[in-house]
Structure 1
Amino acid sequence: MTPSLKHRSFSRALLASALICSLSVTSVWADPPEGKGHGKGNSHHGHKSKHHKSEHKSDFSTTDALIAAGITVAAARSLALNNQLIQFSPLPPGIQKNLMRGKPLPPGIAKKVLPAPFIKQLPHHPGYEWRAVGSDLVLVALSTAIVVDVLKNVFD
């Protein structure tokens, strides 16, 4: 091989290597697809967040303002113990994660009837109903079945 041919082969190999490296670097610096990638911190970098659901149509009207239960978990737990309402089975994890304030009551949840003496000891909210959902005490809007407040593990 002549020196100019060696130089040409080396130049081609160097150019091919540089091209491959530049293509692989751009894929590393590319943004991940929507919903994929690194964590869900507060830095949005211009991406629309899925956490701003108030911008979208909600399942409940704005007149169904979320109210507080008016009782602490400790006080509700004490009332449950006094009324011997304990050892209710918790919800399965898949349903439990869907039980949250401002969301509709997940479908397929069996409503447990709470004794009247126990309900009378809880704060009264017109238009709302106390329900036992798994081992949690839940305040639900009667008109929309929206969960207004969840007191976790009251009946545990």
Structure 2
Amino acid sequence: MRRFTQVCNAVLVITGLLAVPVSSYADPGNGKGHGNPHGQSKKQGHKGNEKESREFADSGNGISLTLTYGDARKLALGSGLTGYSTLPPGIAKNLARGKPLPLGIAKKAVPASMLSQLPNYPGYEWRIAGNDLVLIALSTAIVTEIINNVFD
């Protein structure tokens, strides 16, 4: 009987030790639920007129983009592309950098008059979604950048 107890305890200890490394790969939260905010991700949503510089280096895709809201807005005004309405709230909350382009989103091609003045990145295309200017990876349909309210 004592031997059986020792074997059971050994199995429990080994199982516990094997479970610890697996649990360390768990999702740290990323903004789901309440509690410790340290694991939450910073999501890009509709935050109004963000006039600061849009500079980032996307190491996964190897591109570096520098485009300000002011520059994009100036191009839109110069091309006569204003008065676009915003996306419906349910779709707008799903449009975020690093996520796939939401299904059913009404996206328009940027007219040639403005497109020729925007930075060109092979494998990416500029689109208009609501009143936002969006850069999308062609192969994956992942949203690379959003510049909000350019086409108000």
Report the Cα distance in structure 2 between the residues aligned to 1:102 and 1:122, rounded to whole angstroms: 21
How many residue pairs get matched? 106
Whether 1:114 aligns to 2:110 is yes
Which residue among 122, 135, 144 is the counterpart of 1:148?
Answer: 144
Q: Give, as a single letter, the amino acid of the residue that structure 2 aligns with 1:141.
A: A
* 2:134 and 2:144 in contact (8 A); partners too: yes
* 2:107 and 2:130 in contact (8 A); partners too: no
Which residue among 98, 101, 112 is the counterpart of 1:102?
Answer: 98
Secondary structure of 1:76's match? helix
Which structure features the higher share of strand residues? 2
Whether 1:89 aligns to 2:82 is no
1:125-144 paired onto structure 2 within 5 Å: 125-144=121-140
Residue by residue over 1:60-116, the C-alpha shift from the partner in whole angstroms, topping out at 9 and shown as x without a partner, is xx9852745421111000000000000111001111111111100111012212211
* 2:133 and 2:147 in contact (8 A); partners too: yes
Report the Cα distance in structure 1 between the residues aligned to 2:62 and 2:94, rounded to whole angstroms: 17
Q: Give, as a single letter, the amino acid of the residue that structure 2 aligns with 1:125.
A: Y
Per the alignment, residue 11 of structure 2 pairs with none
Q: Give, as a single letter, the amino acid of the residue that structure 2 aligns with 1:76.
A: A
5+ unaligned residues in a row in structure 2: which ranges?
Answer: 1-31, 43-57
1:1-156 paired onto structure 2 within 5 Å: 40-42=36-38, 49=39, 51=41, 64-65=60-61, 67-156=63-152
Report the Cα distance in structure 1 between the residues aligned to 2:135 and 2:40, rounded to whole angstroms: 26
- Cα displacement (A) at 1:41: 2.8
Secondary structure of 1:138's match? strand
Query: Over aligned residue pairs, what C-alpha RMSD do you find?
Result: 2.5
Q: Would you identify which runs of 4 or more consecutive aligned residues in structure 1 move more than 6 Å?
A: none
5+ unaligned residues in a row in structure 1: which ranges?
Answer: 1-34, 43-48, 53-61
RCO comparison, higher one (Cα < 8 Å, 6+): 1
* 1:111 and 1:131 in contact (8 A); partners too: yes
Larger radius of gyration: 1
